[in-house]
Structure 1
């Protein structure tokens, strides 16, 4: 089984359902399923990156806040895949490089890696929250065509960036969900033809107050 996980940072459930028409179409014609997930706490990025990739709550994996900057200390998806002889890849924010490859992150050496000894063997990482989602999705498409990874993480930051700037009830936040859907419409059919199972979700949601981290449905439902 080959898997692409699209972990859209701060993509909340209701906006995804309302604004992502291509994904909705796949559900409507029974080529995909839709589930509401109640995210773990705290609804912060680095702890949830680790929870998603280990299946553990923060009190067990130890990444309790965004300020915990270290490699993962527990079994995770990248490790399991590599140990099984699978190929791993990621187009993602640099915090994933810190969690699963090495710390500290080197802006030059770690931006692009192709090293079978690493947990993320083929990594393309970015450091700016406003890095364009479309460029990130194109990079993901390249990784599929070039390396045919068994596990690919695709991690755009646009929803989080627009949410923090304008709030989750803004036109900017909603419009970016539509833009991500259009980008995925250009990628998912090819990925499905190549035998991938594609998962699309968020690590947490976003509030109208431009914040997340708490316990309310707007920041937990993805």
Structure 2
């Protein structure tokens, strides 16, 4: 069966990705990757979209409807179903994912490093982004996040691995979705991925690169504006996929990832748009 790495470029809208992700777009041009436009669920907020990506449900169904009051996921999700199938999970991600899928209280001095075979995310490195904003627009370096994910895959070989970068979202909220700072940060992500994806492919992973939502020119997201709800979906894999030019639904990510790993999707999950080739089943 296939191992899958999902990269979430938090806040990276479709047009900005096509403009700034030169390496990813070059891979598409050379036939090394495929790219589609994807439409998010609503509201286009980070916490609700993290859960939608992993459950295939609308926020109205899974109940995570705002970044306020984040709680543990109560729906079957990619992490829980992968663990239940006897496979391994891993993540390098912001603390919201700890709240959703670890099932333990967040301790700012101890939860950064996580290793628990009984949790839905079994091995992880989390970051808090405590106090970030216009006066403190800090974020982990993209290449450092990629390095942590690489080591996680080499040490633990998770069947499902998540890599989540929050930097484009941070710069978008600080400077706006039309700003040079926002666009440059998306390029920084692409630059780190250019050095990392070939290594990850050699480790045997299918790689998906997408976003939870985009960013509007008024430094925000959450509504129905195309700048907030249109995101890219890049695929480095031999899997069967939709026709080029078809617009994808974010609701299909969870079922697609599970299909590639060889796990039956949860009840009510959106329809998978990716399937493994017959010889890999």
Shorter-chain TM-score range: over 0.9
Alignment of 1:1-222 (within 5 A): 1-128=2-129, 129=132, 130-134=138-142, 135-222=144-231
Q: Where does the alignment leave 5 or more consecutive residues of structure 2 unmatched? A: 133-137, 232-281
Deviations 1:74-124 (A, max 9, x none): 100000111111111000000000000125311123211111111110110
- Say which is worse superposed, 88-97 or 98-107, in terms of deviation: 98-107
Over the residues paired in the alignment, what is the CA RMSD in angstroms?
1.1
User: Contact (CA 8 Å) 1:91, 1:136: kept in 2 or not?
Assistant: yes
Q: Secondary structure at the match of 2:188?
A: helix
How far is the alpha carbon of 1:70 from its aligned partner?
Answer: 1.2
User: Contact (CA 8 Å) 1:137, 1:156: kept in 2 or not?
Assistant: no
Whole-Å Cα distance in 1 between the matches of residues 96 and 61 of structure 2?
A: 19
Q: Secondary structure at the match of 2:7?
A: strand
Whole-Å Cα distance in 2 between the matches of residues 103 and 16 of structure 1?
A: 35
Q: Secondary structure at the match of 1:172?
A: helix
How far is the alpha carbon of 1:145 from its aligned partner?
Answer: 1.7
- Say which is worse superposed, 150-159 or 136-145, in terms of deviation: 136-145
**TM-score using structure 2 length:** 0.77
Question: Number of aligned pairs?
Answer: 222
**TM-score using structure 1 length:** 0.97
Whole-Å Cα distance in 2 between the matches of residues 77 and 68 of structure 1?
A: 22
